[in-house]
Amino acid sequence: MHDAREVVVLRYGHRPGRDDRMTTHVGLTARALGADRVIFPDNAGQSAETVRDITDRFGGPFAVELRDDQQAIVRDFEGVVAHLTMYGERVQDVEGDVREAVGIGGPDATGGASTPRDLLVVVGGEKVPWALYERADFNVGVTNQPHSEVAGLAVFLDRLFEGAELDREWEDADRRVMPEATGKTVIDADDAEDSDDPGTEDSDDPGTEDSDDPGTEDSDDPGTGARD
């Protein structure tokens, strides 16, 4: 999280209309749970706009890119590639190896500190080519059961950072949610430290759930985007 290494989430494939909500939630999850950047296909402009808006309002740093060369991104990536797929090795079996490979905690083989390396986390949105399985340093499955690729990304990032992402500080935020047992209170970030009155309630959810079904649809492979 914003140290010597970069954690990048690549949304591999996007079907406009069908995948809009799911692709948006991939980006929001990447931001909220410790990634530094998300790369969307160039036809996912609406999702990119939403994630940028949330970052502007609720803080960063977090970068959003639109690219049309996803295969080249994976092929030419100079760090570690982790591909999330229902068919991969169990996350609980490989999480330590992934952390060691990218230099998060633990010594390297020589007994010294692990060298930080960038990590590309690939989240499929449609049929993923076999070449991606072969290129990936880790093909990782979360439960090896059909479910949302957003859930898989969330579990993977939490395992990667061992919960440290939950305590991060958000920079340049305009708004801040006040944690409480009941209610929905959102205040100006400038007032968060010194205001006795936390402000008025924000009646709407700030932008992460904008429909009756916030993100359970959309994918021929419901948990990974990988069907072959």
Q: Could you tell me which residues come within 8 angstroms of residue 173 by beta carbon, excluding any fewer than 6 positions away?
A: 57, 58, 59, 189
Residue 144 has, within 13 A of its CA and on its CB side, a CA count of 8
The answer to whether the annotation marks 79 as part of a ligand binding site is: no
Question: If you search the block for the tokens 């499955």, which residue do you land on?
Answer: 141
184 is in an annotated binding site: no
Spatial contact of 2 and 129, defined as CB atoms under 8 Å apart: no
Measured CA distances, 143 to 21, 26, 80, 112, 222 (Å):
23, 18, 22, 33, 13
Residue 84 is labelled as binding a ligand: yes
Would the annotation count 27 as a binding residue? Answer: no
150 labelled binding-site residue: no
SS3 state of residue 95: helix
Binding-site sequence positions for S-adenosyl-L-methionine: 84, 124-128
Binding-site sequence positions: 84, 124-128
